[in-house]
Copies of this chain bind each other. A is one copy, B any other.
Amino acid sequence: MARRGLLLILTSPSGAGKSTLARRLMAWDPSLSFSVSATTRAPRPGEVDGREYHFKTREAFENMVKSGEMLEHAEVFGNFYGSPRAPVEAAMAVGLDTLFDVDWQGGQQIRNSALGRDVVSVFVLPPSIAELESRLRGRAQDSDAVIGERMEKSLSEISHWAECDYVLVNRDIDRAFADLATIVQAERMKRDRQPDLAGLVRNLNTEFSAR
């Protein structure tokens, strides 16, 4: 029996280090499958279709939603974002884990979906607002107005911290990453994520009977 893959949902306000953590986790375990979101927003400089996002027209996105091809989707600042279902199910079918970088709305929809029992959710909190703002400004691509809008959105995102299974405070990125890897390792030791155990116990019983 193939192991059932888990759905690892990383949620945090923009600027709390989520993307860095996601990138390091993918480097740490290349067997992880990253769920690339689809979006109707325009690509930013340097973004590649299929890598940062699957860039879609509004019509194409809405058609995917209608035909059930989105595991979750939501509208944020007038743009649609969503997680295509097919790659997730393909990974699960061969026992691989999928990493999601989604907001609280996406996390909630995946938790409430038929795949909810396979979800492990981790919320990443910033240590302070000053730190959050400095990380947002560090990207240096956005105007003050956009920064202000993102800060508001970050606070609204933070208000959903209590919906996740685990919470990390990202005071230090190395420590936060070690904690995240610890969570993934532990979750993989959960009984129902180790399908080989039933076979091992059968073998123990056979060996005992033959003694």
Contacts and interface: CB of A to CB of B under 8 A. Distances in A.
B194 A167 contact: yes
Interface stretch (A17-25, A29-37, A56-64, A154-162): A154-162
A151 B208 contact: yes
A189 B197 contact: no
A128 interface: yes
A179 interface: yes
Nearest to A192: B162
B158 A197 contact: no
A183 B123 CA distance: 18
Interface string A174-211: 00000100110111011100100100110111011001
Contacts of A123: 191
A96 B161 CA distance: 24
Contact of A191 (B159, B166, B182, B194): B166
Interface of A: 123, 125-126, 128-130, 133, 151, 155, 158-159, 161-162, 164-169, 179, 182-183, 185-187, 189-191, 194, 197, 200-201, 203-205, 207-208, 211
The 9 A-B residue pairs whose C-beta atoms are closest, nearest first, are A186-B186, A129-B207, A183-B186, A166-B189, A167-B191, A129-B208, A182-B185, A182-B186, A155-B208
